[in-house]
Amino acid sequence: MEKTFNAAETEPRIYKMWEDSGAFAAGANAKPGADTFCIQLPPPNVTGFLHVGHAFNHTLMDMLTRWKRMQGYDVLWQPGLDHAGIATQLMVEKQMAADGENRKRSEMPRDEFISKVWEWKADKGGVIEQQARRLGDSMDWERSAFTMSGAASAPATEKPGNFHDAVLKVFVQMYNDGLIYRGKRLVNWDPHFETAISDLEVENNEVDGHMWHFKYPLADGQTYEYVEKDEDGNVTLREMRDYISIATTRPETMLGDGAVAVHPDDTRYAPIVGKLCEIPVGPKEHRRLIPIITDRYPDPDFGSGAVKITGAHDFNDYEVAKRGNIPMYNLMDTKAHMRDDGEPYATAAATAQRIARGEEGFDEGKVAAMNLVPDEYRGLDRLEARARIVADITAEGNAVIVANPALEAADSDQPELPKTIPFVEAKKIMQPFGDRSKVVIEPMLTDQWFVDSSKIVQPALDAVREGRVKIMPESGEKVFYHWLENIEPWCISRQLWWGHQIPVWFGPSVTPQGGLSAQNQLQFCAPNYEAAVEIAKAKYKELLGYEVEIDEFQMIEGDYAKGIKEAGHHVATADALWHPADDGRIIEVYISRDEDVLDTWFSSGLWPFGTLGWPADDPAMKYFPGDVLITGQDILFFWVARMMMISQAVLQDDPFHTVYLHQLVRDAKGEKMSKTRGNVIDPLDMIDAYGADALRFSNAQMAALGGVLKISEDRIKGYRNFGTKLWNAFSFADHYQIPYPGNAARPEATQTLNKWIIGETGKVREAVDAGMDSYRFNDAADALYAFTWGKVCDWYLEFSKPILQGDDAAAKAETEQTLRWVLDQCLIMLHPIMPFITEELWGLAGSRTKMLIHADWPEYGTELVDVDADREMNWVIGLIESIRSARAQVHVPAGAKVPLLVMGLETKGQSAWDNNAALIQRLARIESLEHVDSFPKGCVTIPTDGGTFGIPLEGLIDVGSEIARLEKTMQKLGKELGGLRARLNNPKFVASAPDEVVAEAKENLRLREGEEAEMKAAIARLQELG
RNA sequence: GGGUGAUUAGCUCAGUGGUAGAGCGCUUCGUUCACAUCGAAGAUGUCAGCAGUUCGAAUCUGUUAUCACCCA
């Protein structure tokens, strides 16, 4: 054997052996008729690289997978990749720029860009699958899935698959079930990527902002008495006003105000509720008037108590506007610049004015088309527009003016400072940022697709409430409930190209006159164009009363009318379009597919069955529902909850029975890893330095439920050392030339030593399984570490030496067999954590029928414990430790062999000594044992249960230091005795505590009292000497 | 502001009512034939504070403090 385990050489070789032999394949090593066990890998982004978080949860998944596979379950660990819409699109755009492609994405045809993405994927994507192999992951790579597999755009070189079909089928089914709808709603808009994003993709950060206070003059110069009172109702301010004061952090959105709202109980504004006020921006002659309304949303104690309502640009305002039927005017384009389209401001403002006065009705479409940005602000960035608007309002005298605080602070009048200034508060404000783009997110009123989450949330909630799905740690359940009980509609459309294009085609509506209109378009949802055509044909026949041809065209920027004009089809007006035959009948109707793609999380929501061939009738569907999902708690809502909702909505089943959530993996100090901090630990570097097994053991060991995960290189190094320890145990066997047949059965042991270690093995098997069963991976790892190092290597191997070198052939053979068996058990039980080194050591045996990865997991337990052997060996270990300790404390040279005296040795102690004399002598470096009636003066005393030992060291020891040693031990003992006596003297304790606890306390007291007596005697002897 | 969790040895952390543990680090000793990536011995705790429940609390309850994360 090599001196140490060479991970760098061994790991790739072993991995190849497993993979080439199909050891990871679904069902490998399954016993006939076995139950399935399935873990779905949370699919990493196709753009992803392995980081410590993956390394951590892959370790846990691999441990479970290997463990269940060894137990003979029909196991599948399903790998795969997520197409990752935004991330991938970004990566390919970067690649294009790097390659010197002079067109941007928006300048190339969609198809061409998509094929570039596929090329990128084939060339550079999925690196993480190779990296995961270095960890030792036993996934069924043959089955690796991809969320875009089977898409029409996929090149022939791509691995076949049907995930794309599954996604569209789920969409169509949910659409038909009324769970998905399209609507104009306020969504989070990312101006950088020019797409909607979901609430979860928004990070709110506190930033420095300002709050401006402006006057909205009342219409037609009206005035009212404004009265402020304090808490006791005393009037603190009374003045005539011709305006209402508004505070805002977003002045540029004033242009889209639809109303000013005050609280219904706010008496200050009661006189003017229902009146109109003027938005103090824009050309004087076209100032818009808006109504003052009441709503419960404004907080009378905050700011002036009056709030401007801009339904299209603020989530709170949106709710108010919906309640009050206030028009929501959209002011910005997809880049969050002030709109520069539509009719001139004067026309739009005049229409808005009639709406505000109630002289004209409005609907969503009409309001959406109106651009209320005054001509001079059109096309400006929103921040630039803000600055201009603030300046303009202030210049006109409509800013609220206050005394200059700088002036108050100064002692003397400083003539250069103005006496009053506009009221602008510096204020911390929460601002939303895109989690990928890092730009400020705009609430925007746009047409999007939504999942009506509230309709499908109940089964997911019930699953957890009824215990069908268990979330670990338990605290996750509360968070889960809280979120699901307050769930908002889920925006699933994204204005991207890379992804599953929404399978809905739009067609014109049919007017009462039998014409066609681009307004209120009809939707045809189907998994493909042909099916959509069939639905459309039927629908138009129903509406028109005769058959029409259906043809397809492309919308332009989501605009049906624009697209159809561009396509050169016959268009009568913007509202009515048709392609009539001579008799006035319509021959052909054009439909067009929605340009948007689905949120990546929508497709990953069906990962638990989309990977198994669904909707095809695939035998792999036997692995659904899966068993446990292991993932970071940050995607509980993004992914876990949605998988649960979608699985229930589509298959009426939960996708798994257990969710194991873990925290973010941090550095040794507990800080987030980041490139800017420079504290990123690359798992591959750790594998290079210490081997995959060491990294895995470290991961298993830190996996305390709900714990903070801090990865430390020192720990990993420590577990590399543990591997070396295990390796050396095998060198030990090698050195003693112990046969290694490879099928060592557990012997019927006669030797106490062997009985003992067999019992210990039984105990650890139970501990390991209990840990694995309850997802306490750290318990399993710690139990194995303590057993292998602390029991097997520290004691069993040491104890076996005298027998292995001795003359008793039968005892030697039994010990050899036991030793091989015990070491094999270590390999088997350590395999799920440390697969490489254990498989390598397993291969050292002469003959094996199976690789370790497929070895049978043991089923024995504590029935193997021999109580007498257990007690005897623990006595021996205790005695050796006591002798060693005493020797060290009185500075007996480590190498010196000393005589040992004993008095009052009981039968039990005598037989324990007789059985183990050789090993006690060897390990405690004792040269002889002599029975005496009393110890000589100057003797180190070692009390044990069943006899008192002494080391005669007259003249060698320092009496003072030995007395000090004994007294110190006595002190500790005294404390313990005090506690025990107090408990046992308390009648309530004896009466209430369980019998075994009382018995244990009594036994402890007996032992400690015995020791105390011995100590006292020993101290007395020493004092005599002194 | 709301929610969740944490506070245990110098450090990092286990500990699911029976009287305190691991690894690392530290000190001393040791190359005795598996292993110096090692062995032996040792030191170190008002289990954050306060109050309560209990025969008994690191553990359960309340409260305070500090910290972390999530959501507004």
pLDDT tens for A943-954 read 888 788 988 876
A202: the nucleotide nearest its CA (via C1') is: B71
Give the per-residue pLDDT at A415.
61
CA A471 to C1' B51, whole Å: 34
The distance (Å) linking the CA of A988 with the C1' of B56 is 10
Q: Give the pLDDT confidence score for residue A422 in this predicted structure.
A: 74
State, as a whole number of angstroms, the distance between the CA of A736 and the C1' of B60. 55
Gap from A57 CA to B59 C1', Å: 29
Domain A207-430, what fold? Isoleucyl-tRNA Synthetase; domain 2 (3.90.740)
Give the pLDDT confidence score for residue A411 in this predicted structure. 55
Query: Whose C1' is closest to the CA of A702: which nucleotide?
Result: B13
Cα separation, A610 vs A148, in Å, equals 11
Alpha helices in A150-304 (DSSP H): 163-176
Alpha helices of A929-993 — where are they, by DSSP H? 959-985, 987-992
Name the nt closest to A634 by C-alpha to C1'.
B70
Which H helix or E strand runs over A432? Answer: strand A424-434
- Peptide bond preceding A625: is omega within 30 degrees of 0, i.e. cis? yes
Outline where A397-528 has alpha helix (H): 405-409, 453-465, 475-485
Looking at residue A574, what is its pLDDT? 46
Place of tokens 């005599």: A1024
- Measuring alpha carbon to C1', the residue closest to nucleotide B23 is A715
Q: How far apart are CA A924 and CA A916, in angstroms?
A: 12
Query: Looking at residue A212, what DSSP letter applies?
Result: E
Q: In the prediction, which pLDDT does A157 show?
A: 86
Residues in chain A: 1026
For residue A931, list its beta bridge partners: A902
Per-residue model confidence (pLDDT) at position A966: 78
Region label for A245, one of left (φ > 0), alpha (ψ between -120 and 50) or beta (otherwise): beta
At A435 the three-state DSSP class reads coil
**How confident is the model at residue A581, as a pLDDT?**
57
CB A120 within 8 A of CB A105: no
Position A787 scores a pLDDT of 93
Gap from A958 CA to B33 C1', Å: 34
pTM over 0.90: no
CB atoms < 10 A from the CB of A543, how many? 14
Which among A982, A83, A988, A1006 is positioned nearest to A500, based on CA atoms?
A83
| Closest nucleotide to A987: CA versus each C1' | B55
Listed as own residue / partner, the contacts of A712-719 with beta carbons closer than 8 Å and 24 or more positions apart are A712/A668, A713/A668, A713/A681, A713/A686, A714/A668, A716/A686, A716/A689, A716/A690, A717/A690, A719/A690, A719/A693, A719/A694, A719/A695
CA closest to C1' of B13 belongs to A702
Q: A306 and A291 in contact (C-beta within 8 Å)? A: no
- On chain B, which bases lie within 7 A of the protein's CB atoms? 3-6, 12-16, 18-19, 22-25, 28-35, 37-43, 54-56, 69-72
In whole angstroms, B23 C1' to A245 CA is 65
**Nearest nucleotide over every DNA/RNA strand to the A5 CA, judged by C1':** B37
Catalogue the E-assigned strands of A621-683. Answer: 628-632, 658-662, 665-666
Q: Which residue is nearest to nucleotide B2 (CA to C1')?
A: A482
Angstrom distance, A51 CA to B67 C1': 27
Q: Does domain A712-865 have CATH number 3.40.190.10?
A: no
Could you tell me the residue ranges of all domains in chain A? 207-430, 504-595, 712-865, 898-1025
Residue with CA nearest to B56's C1' atom? A989
CB-based burial label for A311 (10 Å; 0-12, 13-18, 19+): buried
Tokens for A43, please give them.
Answer: 């699919």
Residue A284: Cβ within 10 Å count: 8
> Measured between alpha carbons, how far is A262 from A273 in angstroms, rounded to an integer?
8
For residues A616 and A162, give the distance between their C-alpha atoms in angstroms, rounded to a whole number.
8
Residue A769, C-beta contacts closer than 8 angstroms, at least 6 positions apart:
A780
Q: Check: CB of residue A759 under 8 Å from CB of residue A865.
A: yes
Spans in chain A with pLDDT lower than 70: 200, 231, 405-417, 567-584, 668-671, 674-677, 954-958, 1025-1026
The answer, yes or no, to whether ipTM is higher than 0.90 is: yes
Report CA(A972)–C1'(B43) in Å, whole number.
15
State the nucleotide closest to A789 in CA–C1' terms.
B35
Shortest CA to C1' contact from A994: nucleotide: B18
CA of A663 to C1' of B4 (A): 13
Q: Which nucleotide is nearest to A721 (CA to C1')?
A: B37
DSSP-derived 3-state class of residue A304: coil
Residue A1025's pLDDT is what? Answer: 67
* CA–C1' gap, A322 and B2, in angstroms: 26
Which residue approaches B34 most closely, CA to C1'? Answer: A732
Which nt has its C1' nearest the CA of A736? B34
Protein CA at A725 to nucleotide C1' at B38, angstroms? 9
Distance A478 CA to B51 C1' (A): 28
Give the three-class secondary structure for A815: helix
